[in-house]
Structure 1
């Protein structure tokens, strides 16, 4: 079954292939990069830049080289946010119903502290809040403790106002689901989940009854991690009560977990050297190790 490949920067691929001992096998890197459509020249230039930035040391040359991470270069942007993912699966399993409370945050930081203002905004967006109007953000999940911790670390707690409400109204809109549809870009979020679901389903079909090579397995796992990260990172994890019918997130996460399990269950490649998997894979093993869905959470 043909499928489109996610766009994975070469730098991100290098970080994704760092193993437990902090090394990256260059031969493996070039092979996986080739399967992802990258050229050898792209890989060489990327490795050269990473070495010049003192993020890696290089022993040897070409495909026989070994890269050694100078600092913690586990997986870059592909590393899963375990708490975020566990909450998603709890919602999918009907274990985190919405209590009807909106969590609002307002802040006013002077231009002289623009970096602090930007950091607060990025924190709120990362935690799933969305702007209602200038300086006022709303979230459907209780994130106040996390926002407060970040504000304290920025020495900006006095600039943040915290509020909860059960009767949010924007203009004439009061219906919670209609409010969510106006405040969050649900169409764009749904499209990312549809892409993740399509990739995971195609991945499962492609390995059914086959034994991919070690490099092919690495490639599929990195692609799945990239698609999963792309779908989950901007997802505010709105409670099912606020989402449209047949929301694709639940199905996409189930297929992603099934795909990861199928990859993990593949038998060893005959004659291949036994190597520990990249650190990234252990992080996803932990993130996907969640209880099976135990209750209804709306249409899947």
Structure 2
């Protein structure tokens, strides 16, 4: 694995305000944490019985995406120069690869949280859409040079407020299919993740938005947040769900999975037997007469 100095030399910065070699070294550290967490999550997924791996597989998706993103960040790849608003015409590296990471991870984390509740599918889809709005408006705002970037920031903040409402008020008020154990674990995980969501807009305003902090400081800040909202959060969330009966969630697929032999076979319902038509009743014979 290349060090920060080698990565910056091979892939030279494309802006005046760019990540330093120390910043690249830190990003390699975050990449190592994400990659190790991915392997641990994959191992934990394999150890789970079939039919009880949904939340673990979501964790593998999130951590794999973060590993690829931080490999790109540490290699000084995945950025574009944008003239900073408050830096006297200096250009600054804007890392679009980070927003690609969030575009996948943010809705996936929220999906994992809300699947543990009793929310209707329509509410879940709306919340996932607004999580995508938060990421897209953050990316567009970061790429805008003028003060109009704060308009996109406002759109994202409004969408984030709705997500907080769903996570902290609307979802906990639903009937949890798996009972009180999941409800307690959800309160812990949702409260923790909602607190983490407060810090991301603050970092954006100081970095891509206001250009108050350097690119290296931005990398350190975002790296800590992604570790706390990624491996740490997922470890807490999966630990709270470790003893929950998955049948109580009501998840169903189109096929039956034989967890013992690992075979997948379709369930076929035998057609109901067709009743034979009843024989017509014989006409009544009047009293005193004999049937021929």
TM-score by length of 2: 0.30
- Normalising by structure 1, we get a TM-score of 0.29
More strand, by proportion: 1
Which has the higher relative contact order, 1 or 2, with Cα contacts under 8 A spaced 6 or more apart? 1
Q: Which has more radius of gyration?
A: 2
Flag the structure with higher helix content. Answer: 2
